[in-house]
């Protein structure tokens, strides 16, 4: 009978103060660990988000600069927009114009313009559409240069080269852009299109009308 009473007393007995303190201590430790982990996750998430946004901005900036160059195509033999470039400017046709529909050849010009009053260099894109000159990028100081690569990988200060012959193709294979940007200082664009246009009927004398 006494054994049954002892068992019944144990079943109805509450937690002791020591047991409560142990439970509270464990709960506090778990809470601290969880909050520290949550803080670490939030900090990493913020850092990753900031890095992704920075990389996105750099990629967008890079693509805006070199997209028209990637789309360079040669003009017809009698065309008025044959590619020409030096260290400070280039003109020609591109199928990747800025601010205009892509796919069709459009005249363009890229120019480095230095303003001594503000000590700023601007890379300016000019198409033939309704949009005026567009500032593609800008940076402090007088820095900015185009260079042109031939089929052998040699870099030249202008295109067509000074020693150009009748065999020299109209457009370069590579175009290098040196800027004053801290993250996109040196950019290289590959001109993937054919470097000469096929002659048309009027180009070989079957029509007296000039090419458009």
Reported as a single tens digit per residue, the pLDDT across 158-208 is 999 988 887 789 999 999 999 998 888 999 999 988 888 776 666 555 554
Q: What are phi and psi of 74, to 5 degrees?
A: -75, 155
pLDDT recorded at residue 6: 53
Distance CA 127, CA 133 (A): 7
The pLDDT tens digits of the residues spanning 42-94 come to 565 655 455 444 556 666 788 889 999 999 999 988 889 999 999 999 999 99
pLDDT recorded at residue 126: 94
* Domain ranges within the chain, ordered by starting residue: 1-212
Give me the percent of the chain exceeding a pLDDT of 90. Answer: 43
Identify the CA nearest to 74 among candidates 152, 163, 186, 173.
173
**Is pLDDT at 157 greater than 60 in this prediction?**
yes
Distance CA 36, CA 184 (A): 38
Comparing 64-73, 127-136, 137-146, the range with the smallest average pLDDT is 127-136
What angle (nearest 5°) sits at the alpha carbon of residue 45, between those of residues 43 and 49?
120
**Cβ-count burial of 9 within 10 angstroms (0-12 exposed, 13-18 middle, 19+ buried)?**
exposed
């Amino acid at each position: 009978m006494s054994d049954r009473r002892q068992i019944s007393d144990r079943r109805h007995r509450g937690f002791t103060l020591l047991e409560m303190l142990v439970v509270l201590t464990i709960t506090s430790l778990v809470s601290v660990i969880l909050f520290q982990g949550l803080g670490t996750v939030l900090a990493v998430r913020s850092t990753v988000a900031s890095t992704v946004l920075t990389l996105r901005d750099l990629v967008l900036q890079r693509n805006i600069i070199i997209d028209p160059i990637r789309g360079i195509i040669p003009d017809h033999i009698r065309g008025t927009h044959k590619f020409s470039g030096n260290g400070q400017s280039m003109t020609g046709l591109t199928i990747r114009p800025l601010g205009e529909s892509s796919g069709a050849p459009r005249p363009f010009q890229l120019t480095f313009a230095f303003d001594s009053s503000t000590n700023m260099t601007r890379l300016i894109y000019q198409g033939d559409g309704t949009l005026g000159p567009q500032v593609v990028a800008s940076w402090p100081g007088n820095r900015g240069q185009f260079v042109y690569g031939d089929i052998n990988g040699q870099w030249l200060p202008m295109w067509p080269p000074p020693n150009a012959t009748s065999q020299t193709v109209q457009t370069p294979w590579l175009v290098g852009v040196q800027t004053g940007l801290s993250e996109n200082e040196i950019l290289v664009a590959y001109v993937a299109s054919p470097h000469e246009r096929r002659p048309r009927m009027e180009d070989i004398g079957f029509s007296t009308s000039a090419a458009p």
